[in-house]
Amino acid sequence: MAGLAETQQMKRFRLPMLSIAVAIVAAGLLLWARRSTTEAAVTPEECLDTYYNALRSGDRDKYSGCVVESHGIQSGGDRFQVLCREANDLKNLVQVAGPRDDEALRWIDVDEVRASGIRRLRYHLRRDERGWLIVGIETARERAAPIPFGTPAGDER
């Protein structure tokens, strides 16, 4: 009889224990997925590629994983939406890396090619224990493209 009582008591705890185990596994998977999407880039160029891809897709989490907000880069709702709209107007990007004097700090100029012209931005990047992150952005003036975007071949003069 004692064995029967123990078996019934074990059955009563089986469902709650199973629920707790499933919850722990689910929480672990969510934390792992969140960690893998916010890892910083291995190279400065990869960091900028991830940054622009995040803006084009509207992925705020991936965007936040590319920038260090304490250095004046904002990810507030309105600013993020403006950056996303601007990124969707891009026709091409050209990255020009600066000198590699310091292994933990770099700058890269990015020419954003648009139908209206070309805008050069200078991105300041820093490597920390996670990888490369954007710590500052300098904006230069937009200039007209030497050949306007959409000009048919042969009409470039």
Express each pLDDT in 90-132 by its tens digit. Answer: 999 999 998 888 889 999 999 999 888 889 999 999 998 889 9
Give the C-alpha separation, 12 to 20, whole Å. Answer: 14
Q: Considering just the CA atoms, what is the radius of gyration of the chain in Å?
A: 25
CB-based contacts of 121: which residues, under 8 Å, 6+ apart?
Answer: 109, 110, 112, 137, 138, 139, 140
pTM passes above 0.95? no
CB 52 within 8 A of CB 123: no
